[in-house]
Amino acid sequence: MRITRILKQDNKLKNLLYSSIKPKSNNLLDFFDKPLSELTTKRPIKDSILGLRETTKDKIVPSKVLKFICYDSMLDKSDFDHLIPHFHHRKFDFDDRAIKFDVIKGRRSSKYGLKSNGNYYLIFPSKEWSTAFYLETLDKQIVGMNFKPKFIDPEGDVENGLAELKSPSSKSSFQDEVLPFSDLPWLKSHLKVSDYINLPDQPTQQDTNDVSELPSHEPLKNTVTIPPIDRRNVVILRNMIPQMTAKELGEKLRDYSLYRVQDRAVWELENKLFIVIFDNPDDARLVVRRFNGKHWKDDPNLPVVFAEVLE
């Protein structure tokens, strides 16, 4: 009798446990009922300009170009890439492959060795992308200093400077600054400034077999197709020995893949400053590693050569 009573009580307890409806957790269920687009706190790129107005008190006019001043001349694009926070900490919804920009280093004229003047220009495909980058990198540091870029009016300062690479007759608004230089009309007319400022292709001619035989004084326009030259294929060499010539330097570098139009591969400017164009960025980097900061021919009695990739 006692056992029967215990079993009945046990059954009542089981019925109570299994028949009771668990209280609904509104927050939890609402969370899973929402579409994925509503679960993230990241904003779309198209809202970046609105985010700029909400974040900054000053009235900032966005553009597709950011200018950053830093007198460390060794910065390159990878340094700016590292400023972008991890995906989970971003304000805007994009992945690493989506954000694309180019970095151009401002330089002084060949009179001053085409040395960096401390200006870095970050060029984006649109105002929305540049603004998103600006907001994502607020309060970041680069080489020990605060990263505080400024938007530059593309219709004013920067575009005039970049246009100088396309048109020999246009004048840069930067005093004694070239992006990256304006001394060589032929080279600057073919230089690939960035992925977002494309140069027009040159007219073509069917017979291009004797490209290397063209005399140096003969213009290449309307003769052969010259694709835009990537800046990363171009090397600046400074402080060469006084007796060095462009022809001799080209012979010294014959083990590397020089630019296919041979009489356009090596340029001698003033003060023993040389510009060397390669067919690929790998050989350009190899030459920089081989010569930069080393005595010419490894002879301590000869000058120390300085080499860098044109950026």
* 232: CATH: 3.30.70.330
Q: What would the pLDDT profile of 160-211 be if each residue is shown by its tens digit?
A: 444 443 333 223 333 344 444 444 555 655 565 544 433 333 333 333 333 3
In a domain, 210, yes or no: no
Say if residues 310 and 192 touch (Cβ distance below 8 Å). Answer: no
**E strand spans, 90-200:** 102-108, 116-123, 141-142, 145-146, 150-152, 177-178, 191-192
Q: Are 59 and 191 contained in the same domain?
A: yes
- Residues 60 and 146 placed together within one structural domain of the fold: yes
**pLDDT at residue 39 tops 90:** no
Smallest Cα–Cα separation from 311: which of 257, 230, 204?
Answer: 230
- Same domain, yes or no, for 119 and 183? yes
Q: Are residues 35 and 113 in the same domain?
A: no
Dmax (CA) for the chain in angstroms is 119
Q: Give the total residue count for the chain.
A: 311
* Residue 150 pLDDT: 92
Where does a domain end: 141, 165, 200? 200
Shared domain check, 64 and 18: no
Q: How many distinct structural domains can be found in the chain?
A: 3
**Mean pLDDT in the chain?**
73
**15 and 95, same domain (yes or no):** no
At 269, the pLDDT band (50, 70, 90 cuts) reads confident
pLDDT digits (tens, 9 = 90+) for 153-165: 755 554 444 444 3
192 and 178 co-located in one domain:
yes
Residue 117 shares a structural domain with residue 179: yes
- 212 domain residue, yes or no: no
Residue 170: inside a domain: yes
Specify whether 25 is located in the same domain as 135.
no
192 and 101 in a common domain: yes
**Angle, in degrees to the nearest 10, between helices 48-55 and 127-136:** 40
Asked whether the predicted pLDDT for residue 302 surpasses 70, the reply is yes
Q: Smallest Cα–Cα separation from 90: which of 55, 41, 123?
A: 41
Compute, in degrees rounded to 10, the torsion defined by CA atoms 200, 78, 105, 196: 20
Question: Encoding tokens for residue 112?
Answer: 């001053």
Q: Which domain holds residue 28?
A: 2-39
- 206 occurs within a structural domain: no
Count the helices and strands in the chain (H runs, E runs): 10, 14
Establish whether the linkage from the previous residue to 281 is cis, with ω within 30° of 0: no
> Whole-angstrom Cα distance, residue 92 to residue 100?
15
- Which residues, including other chains, have CB under 8 Å from residue 6's CB and lie 6 or more apart? none
Residue 216 lies in a domain: no
With vertex at residue 57, the alpha carbon angle to CA 54 and CA 63, rounded to the nearest 5 degrees, is 75
